[in-house]
């Protein structure tokens, strides 16, 4: 019988107005990969924050027994001393600093008076090799793609002599190739005796790596499924997560009369703001019709986000050129997002926590941010109107919260995404560019977001949906553009599109570029 490395007993954690964890029990065997799954708000990240000392002893009820010892962690340093290391969904790296500096930040090599840089970089290179990175540890973080930055985070954890590694949504920002490489690395670490807990909404990843699967729902433990030597279907996991069968992942395309071209971009070019010689959007042309959902798919670094942000008031890039047409008329947007909003264009960022929402402010405040004029008189906000608007969108989008006065930072990822959508819907745009609208949220919340998108096009709005998830693009789009290395390399109607021919367009474009 395998040794129980970790046991969390009767863990209860309460926030103002919300019981996030209710008598949760959780066991992890030594040397296994244990998946922790559940809908947004189920309590997964909260449970791991309790384990890692982010929520200190005394702020929760229950016991943590690790390696046979009852632990009372007061901070993250306490848990790391025991070899428990957590890697959060949002990478904690400083872009301007080198890999080596990041890896030992707060854990410096040398004396109190002086850092030993030779030891820092030689140690960093050793751990980089363990995760398969060939870059020098003196390389700046900003020079790395997201996939490699994720590997730096793992190397950083190994440098802390991790015995129990917690990975919270480790592949949420990675393409399929990088995700598979990371999962294979986890399996290699398991062979070497490391114990891991993975939180992910990508259920195919759970089936691929997990030995056991614990399901949380509404802050409580539902079940633990033994997955050793057997394949657990995604439908089986989903049923545990949501408490019911979900037969369709997508609501189906609505019966909408697609109208005239609403927005058209012609010969659009954008250069990198830090590396002016690097063209990130290369002669792109595309259009969106009224009442249409257009998917924009590409691998990481294809230039999709850069394209959308450059259209949205030139909020990204330099040397922007090309033509933007709205309702058949050429328009020139000033270099400001407010000008884009005046032209009825909205951009829902993929980075809801960093750029989309003010986490320290309430749902009420966040909902009205993009359209303050409509709830103000002579520059003074009408608080009653502000509350009424937030309450209207809370009901419309089915946002789960005790009150719209609650801080957005206390909401689950799926509910934060709904607040972000509410913010832009209240701005009443005609064109919405949705960048990874379901990243890091569960299957139930995804379905609700898809339904909202369908409601948008029923109202005659035009949607450009950027997504790294091929099934999502295929399930939600009327037409699909494929982007690679800054260029549009294919366009397909939904009925003609498959995963195979979309990937073939990307691969063939790469061959043409290198020929």
Average of per-residue pLDDT across 398-417: 87
pLDDT above 70 (res 514): no
Report yes or no: 249 and 443 within 8 Å, Cβ to Cβ: yes
Q: pLDDT tens digits for 180-191?
A: 888 999 999 999
In a domain, 446, yes or no: yes
pLDDT bracket for residue 5 (50, 70, 90): very high
Average of per-residue pLDDT across 458-469: 92
Given this model, what pLDDT does residue 435 score?
Answer: 92
pLDDT above 90 (res 148): no
Per DSSP, the residues of 259-271 read: -SEEEEEEEEEEE
Average of per-residue pLDDT across 445-450: 85
Residue whose tokens read 């490489």: 181
In a domain, 158, yes or no: yes
Report yes or no: 189 and 166 within 8 Å, Cβ to Cβ: no
In this structure, the answer to whether residues 464 and 406 fall within a common structural domain is no
Residue 247 C-alpha from the chain's centroid: 25
Given this model, what pLDDT does residue 365 score?
Answer: 94
In a domain, 454, yes or no: yes
pLDDT above 70 (res 246): no
Helix then strand then coil, in percent of the chain rounded to 5, is 35, 30, 35
In this structure, the answer to whether residues 262 and 201 fall within a common structural domain is no
pLDDT above 60 (res 418): yes
In this structure, the answer to whether residues 371 and 413 fall within a common structural domain is yes
CA atoms within 13 A on the CB side of 267: 3
Residue whose tokens read 């919260």: 401
In this structure, the answer to whether residues 18 and 160 fall within a common structural domain is yes
Q: Please give, one letter per residue, the 3-state secondary structure of 189-253.
A: HHHCCCEEEEECCCHHHHHHHCCEEEEEECCEEEEEEECCCCCCCHHHHHHHHHCCCCCCCCCCC
Given this model, what pLDDT does residue 500 score?
Answer: 84
Average of per-residue pLDDT across 151-163: 89
Number of domains the chain contains: 3
pLDDT above 60 (res 511): no
Tell me the residue range of the domain where 405 lies. Answer: 356-428
Given this model, what pLDDT does residue 477 score?
Answer: 95
Query: How far is it, in rounded angstroms, from Cα 407 to Cα 391?
Result: 14
Q: pLDDT tens digits for 20-35?
A: 899 999 999 999 999 9
pLDDT above 80 (res 319): yes
In a domain, 270, yes or no: yes
Report yes or no: 183 and 209 within 8 Å, Cβ to Cβ: yes
> Is this structure's pTM higher than 0.85?
no
Among candidate residues 180, 130, 181, 179, the one with its CA nearest the CA of residue 155: 130
Q: Which two tokens stand for residue 280?
A: 């990130």
Instruction: Compare 68 and 202 and report the one with higher pLDDT.
Output: 68
In this structure, the answer to whether residues 260 and 232 fall within a common structural domain is no
Given this model, what pLDDT does residue 245 score?
Answer: 61
User: String of b and e for 38-52 (b: at least 16 CB within 10 Å)?
Assistant: bbbbbbbbbbbbbbb
Q: Which of 242, 275, 299 is the last residue of a domain?
A: 242
In a domain, 351, yes or no: no
pLDDT bracket for residue 299 (50, 70, 90): confident
In this structure, the answer to whether residues 222 and 369 fall within a common structural domain is no
In this structure, the answer to whether residues 72 and 215 fall within a common structural domain is yes
pLDDT bracket for residue 300 (50, 70, 90): low
Given this model, what pLDDT does residue 512 score?
Answer: 59
Could you say which DSSP state residue 258 is in?
Answer: -
Among candidate residues 30, 32, 10, 31, the one with its CA nearest the CA of residue 22: 10
Query: How far is it, in rounded angstroms, from Cα 292 to Cα 262?
Result: 9
Average of per-residue pLDDT across 286-312: 91
Which of 409-413, 436-440, 441-445 is predicted least confidently? 441-445
In a domain, 349, yes or no: no
In this structure, the answer to whether residues 122 and 91 fall within a common structural domain is yes
Q: pLDDT tens digits for 342-401?
A: 999 999 988 887 788 998 999 999 999 989 989 998 889 999 999 999 999 998 888 888
Given this model, what pLDDT does residue 431 score?
Answer: 96
Query: How far is it, in rounded angstroms, from Cα 260 to Cα 277?
Result: 37
Given this model, what pLDDT does residue 50 score?
Answer: 95
Average of per-residue pLDDT across 245-250: 69
Average of per-residue pLDDT across 264-275: 92
Residue 382 C-alpha from the chain's centroid: 34
Given this model, what pLDDT does residue 244 score?
Answer: 63
In this structure, the answer to whether residues 369 and 485 fall within a common structural domain is no
Query: How far is it, in rounded angstroms, from Cα 294 to Cα 27?
Result: 44
Average of per-residue pLDDT across 216-231: 87
Q: Residue 370: which residues within 8 A CB-CB, separation 6 or more? A: 341, 346, 423, 424, 426, 427
Could you say which DSSP state residue 353 is in?
Answer: I
Q: Which of 411, 428, 445 is the last residue of a domain?
A: 428
Given this model, what pLDDT does residue 210 score?
Answer: 94
Given this model, what pLDDT does residue 54 score?
Answer: 93
The domain that contains 79 carries what CATH number? 3.40.50.300
Given this model, what pLDDT does residue 204 score?
Answer: 85
Q: pLDDT tens digits for 487-507?
A: 999 999 988 898 888 888 887
Backbone angles phi, psi at 53, to 5 degrees: 90, 0
Given this model, what pLDDT does residue 57 score?
Answer: 95
In this structure, the answer to whether residues 93 and 202 fall within a common structural domain is yes
Q: Which of 202, 218, 242 is the last residue of a domain?
A: 242
In this structure, the answer to whether residues 173 and 142 fall within a common structural domain is yes
Query: How far is it, in rounded angstroms, from Cα 510 to Cα 515?
Result: 9
In this structure, the answer to whether residues 171 and 305 fall within a common structural domain is no
Given this model, what pLDDT does residue 275 score?
Answer: 81
% of the chain residues with pLDDT over 90: 53
Which whole-number Å values give the CA distances from 183 to 23, 104, 164, 198, 400, in the listed order? 31, 24, 16, 10, 32
In a domain, 284, yes or no: yes
In a domain, 350, yes or no: no
Given this model, what pLDDT does residue 59 score?
Answer: 95
Given this model, what pLDDT does residue 133 score?
Answer: 85
- Mean pLDDT rounded to a whole number for the chain: 88
Angle at alpha carbon of residue 507, lines to 502 and 509, rounded to 5°? 95
């Amino acid at each position: 019988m395998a040794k129980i490395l970790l046991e969390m007993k009767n863990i209860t954690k309460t926030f103002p107005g919300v019981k996030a964890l209710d008598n949760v029990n959780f066991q992890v065997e030594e040397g296994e990969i244990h998946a922790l799954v559940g809908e947004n708000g189920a309590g997964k990240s909260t449970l791991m924050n309790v384990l890692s000392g982010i929520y200190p002893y005394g702020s929760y009820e229950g016991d943590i027994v690790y390696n046979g010892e009852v632990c009372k962690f007061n901070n993250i340093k306490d848990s790391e001393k025991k070899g428990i290391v957590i890697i959060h969904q949002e990478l904690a790296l400083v872009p301007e600093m080198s890999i080596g500096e990041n890896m030992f930040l707060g854990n410096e090599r040398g004396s109190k008076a002086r850092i030993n840089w030779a030891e820092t970089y030689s140690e960093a290179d050793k751990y980089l090799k363990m995760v398969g990175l060939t870059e020098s540890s003196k390389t700046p973080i900003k020079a790395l793609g997201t996939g490699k930055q994720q590997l730096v985070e793992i190397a950083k954890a190994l440098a802390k002599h991790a015995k129990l590694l917690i990975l919270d949504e480790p592949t949420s920002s990675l393409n399929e190739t990088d995700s598979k490489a990371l999962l294979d690395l986890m399996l290699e670490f398991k062979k070497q005796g490391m114990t891991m807990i993975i939180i992910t909404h990508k259920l195919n990843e759970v089936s691929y790596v997990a030995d056991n699967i614990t399901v949380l729902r509404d802050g409580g433990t539902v079940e633990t499924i033994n997955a050793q030597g057997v394949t657990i279907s995604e439908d089986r996991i989903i049923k545990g997560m949501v408490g019911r069968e979900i037969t369709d992942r997508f609501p189906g395309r609505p019966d909408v009369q697609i109208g005239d071209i609403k927005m058209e971009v012609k010969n659009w070019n954008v250069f990198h703001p830090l590396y002016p010689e690097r063209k990130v959007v290369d002669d792109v042309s595309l259009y969106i019709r009224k009442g249409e959902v257009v998917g924009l798919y590409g691998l990481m670094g294809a230039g999709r986000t850069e394209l959308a942000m450059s259209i949205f008031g030139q909020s990204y890039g330099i040397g922007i050129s090309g033509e933007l047409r709205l309702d058949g008329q050429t328009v020139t947007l000033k270099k400001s997002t407010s000008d884009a909003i005046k032209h009825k264009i909205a951009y829902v960022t993929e980075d809801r926590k960093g750029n989309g929402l003010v986490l320290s402010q309430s749902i009420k405040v966040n909902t009205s941010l993009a359209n303050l004029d409509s709830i103000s008189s002579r520059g003074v906000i009408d608080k009653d109107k502000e509350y009424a608007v937030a309450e209207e969108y809370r009901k419309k989008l089915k946002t789960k919260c005790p009150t719209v006065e609650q801080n957005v930072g206390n909401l689950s990822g799926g509910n934060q995404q709904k607040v972000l959508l509410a913010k832009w819907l209240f701005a009443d745009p005609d064109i919405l560019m949705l960048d990874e609208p379901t990243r890091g949220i569960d299957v139930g919340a995804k379905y609700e977001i898809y339904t909202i998108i369908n409601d948008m096009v029923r109202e005659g709005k035009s949607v450009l949906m950027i997504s790294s998830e091929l099934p999502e693009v295929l399930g939600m789009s009327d037409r699909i553009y494929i982007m690679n290395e800054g260029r549009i390399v294919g366009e397909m109607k939904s009925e003609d599109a498959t995963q195979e021919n979309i990937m073939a367009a990307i691969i063939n474009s790469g061959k043409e570029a290198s020929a």
